[in-house]
């Protein structure tokens, strides 16, 4: 299993390296764009996100910002309304408690109301530079793409735990980019995702995946990749990075990862399933071997230590160009620790993410 894992990670590294660094362009975008945010109880964050959107170096006549308030009980709607004179449109949901996937419902409602040819989704707790939107849309137009995934990174960490999350999160973002680089899109992040509205409707929108709380990003990616894998790109540009916050504590972190893992029950591409299962089995085997280390003979001990070393080395080989791209190379000092912790949490999440319910935005969902 160790050899399989090493080969898989090196294959993903090759996918990342196939992606060229995107340089800023002076060419003005041509497409009308609708930026959509689904927000619930985000009074502490939504203002800063909207300020970033208002500061975009993008033709105002081509930009539409729609924020859907998902039954917030704080001042979220009030803050959004204060941006109305600057062109921000507020949609308030009135769906009550009858849904499991409020976010997909919110995005779908916003798309139905939008005027843009291209839909761009982000989250209510994100920040981006002034060239963010222009960079992504130019890349999409220049390459005639139907969907573009772009990088997301944690930022402004307040603790060592948050620094560990940043390295692990960059690993996930790198894997998603690498899959696209290899021509086999597997993962993306809805905090920085763009797609053509006509393709969204052609794929039936979220139909077939709308009963699952999560998956407005990855599962939509899979639907589009079934027919148009070659028209999906990753915008590997620093200007295209969206920044967000790591989770403050372990409980919030595990809840988020359970939500992300819950999407795997709907994967139809057997290659994606095989990749996930292979990685999970390797980490399970590694944990079992570590637990049995004290009872192993000398030869077995050497094999276990070699497996751990190979895992760290191959992950370093993958992560080095990813963290270099994000200007966060200092995070690699945490790799030996995060590599071992990653095995524990991955096995744990792989089980719990596919059973039962979890909490999301104050709701119990599945």
Query: CATH code at 232?
Result: 3.90.550.10
**Least-confidence region, from 53-67, 230-244, 262-276:** 262-276
pLDDT at 261 over 90: no
- Residue 139 domain flag: yes
pLDDT band at 348 (very low <50, low <70, confident <90, very high): confident
- Residue 335 domain flag: no
Distance CA(198)–CA(292), nearest Å, equals: 55
Q: What is the mean pLDDT of residues 168-183?
A: 95
- pLDDT number for residue 361: 60
pLDDT at 363 over 60: no
- Residue 263 domain flag: no
| Residue-number span of the structural domain to which 108 is assigned | 20-252
Tokens of 293: 């280390």
More confident residue, 215 or 265: 215
More confident residue, 131 or 299: 131
pLDDT band at 106 (very low <50, low <70, confident <90, very high): very high
- pLDDT number for residue 216: 86
- Residue 366 domain flag: no
- Residue 76 domain flag: yes
**Looking at the 3D structure of the chain, how many domains does it have?**
1
- Residue 221 domain flag: yes
- Residue 193 domain flag: yes
pTM assigned to the model: 0.90
pLDDT band at 52 (very low <50, low <70, confident <90, very high): very high
pLDDT at 276 over 80: no
pLDDT at 260 over 80: no
Sequence-ordered list of residues with C-beta below 8 angstroms from that of 100, at least 6 positions apart, any chain: 211, 212, 213, 365, 366
């Amino acid at each position: 299993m160790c050899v399989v894992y090493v080969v898989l990670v090196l294959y993903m590294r090759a996918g990342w390296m196939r992606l060229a660094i995107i340089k800023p362009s002076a060419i003005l975008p041509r497409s009308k764009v609708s930026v959509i945010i689904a927000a619930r109880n985000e009074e502490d964050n939504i203002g800063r996100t909207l300020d970033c959107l208002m500061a975009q170096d993008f033709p105002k006549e081509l930009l539409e910002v729609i924020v859907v308030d998902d039954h917030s009980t704080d001042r979220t709607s009030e803050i959004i309304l204060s941006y109305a004179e600057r062109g921000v449109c507020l949609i308030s949901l009135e769906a009550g408690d009858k849904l499991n996937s409020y976010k997909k419902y919110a995005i779908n409602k916003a798309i139905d109301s939008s005027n843009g040819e291209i839909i761009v989704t982000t989250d209510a707790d994100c920040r981006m530079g002034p060239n963010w939107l222009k960079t992504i849309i130019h890349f999409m137009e220049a390459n005639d793409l139907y969907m573009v995934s772009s990088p997301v990174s944690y930022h402004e960490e307040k603790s060592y735990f948050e620094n560990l999350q940043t390295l692990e999160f960059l690993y996930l973002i790198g894997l998603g980019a690498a899959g696209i680089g290899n021509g086999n899109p597997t993962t993306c992040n809805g905090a920085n995702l763009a797609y053509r509205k006509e393709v969204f409707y052609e794929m039936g929108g979220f139909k077939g995946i709308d009963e699952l709380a999560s998956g407005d990003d990855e599962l939509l990616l899979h639907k589009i990749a079934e027919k148009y894998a070659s028209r999906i790109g990753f915008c590997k540009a620093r200007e295209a990075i969206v920044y967000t916050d790591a989770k403050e504590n372990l409980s919030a972190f595990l809840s988020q990862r359970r939500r992300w893992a819950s999407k795997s029950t709907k994967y139809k591409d057997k290659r994606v399933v095989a990749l996930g299962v292979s990685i999970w089995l390797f980490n399970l085997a590694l944990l079992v071997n570590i637990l049995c280390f004290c009872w192993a003979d000398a030869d077995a001990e050497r094999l276990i230590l070699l497996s751990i070393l190979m895992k760290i080395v191959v992950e370093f080989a993958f992560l080095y160009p990813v963290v270099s791209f994000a200007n966060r190379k200092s995070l690699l000092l945490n790799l030996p620790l995060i590599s071992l912790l990653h095995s524990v949490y991955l096995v744990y999440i792989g089980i719990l993410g596919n059973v039962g319910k979890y909490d999301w935005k104050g709701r119990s969902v599945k």
